[in-house]
């Protein structure tokens, strides 16, 4: 019997019990729930397991979209974040680092 891949396990649980932001689960709770079948599962491995899934996280926890409207809202939010990161990246690339040694500055 072939073991079920972690991403499938995660998606199955979230689709069954955590569809929509009102039903989000904290990552620690999800980790505890999945550790019963996979005791060596770590927080890092769990995060890697859902990074390519339609999983969204808020302060309330992780969930998959519960409706087409919620899915569209999450897509728009991701696009806003992409644009914001692109602006920040551009600003950092254009920034000139000062060459003067920092230890020469006097404390305020």
- Mean pLDDT throughout 23-42? 95
The model's pLDDT over 44-86, given as tens digits with 9 standing for 90+, comes to: 999 999 999 999 999 999 999 999 999 999 999 999 999 999 9
pLDDT at 99: 83
Helices 43-50 & 27-35 angle (0-180, nearest 10): 100
Confidence of residue 100 (pLDDT cuts 50, 70, 90): confident
Residues 6+ apart with CB under 8 A from 30: 10, 13, 46, 61, 62
**H helices of the chain, where?**
6-17, 27-35, 43-50, 68-94
Rounded to whole angstroms, the Cα distance separating 7 from 14 reads 11
pTM over 0.85: no
Say how many CA atoms lie within 13 Å of 79 toward its Cβ: 6
């Amino acid at each position: 019997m072939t073991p079920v891949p972690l991403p499938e396990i995660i998606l199955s649980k979230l689709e069954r019990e955590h569809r929509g932001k009102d039903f989000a689960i904290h990552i620690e709770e999800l980790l505890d729930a999945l550790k019963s079948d996979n005791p060596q599962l770590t927080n890092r491995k769990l995060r890697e397991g859902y990074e390519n899934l339609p999983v969204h996280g808020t302060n309330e926890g992780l969930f998959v979209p519960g409706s087409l409207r919620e899915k569209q809202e999450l897509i728009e939010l991701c696009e806003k974040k992409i644009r914001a990161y692109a602006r920040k990246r551009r600003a950092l690339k254009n920034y000139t680092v000062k060459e003067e040694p920092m230890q020469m500055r006097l404390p305020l």
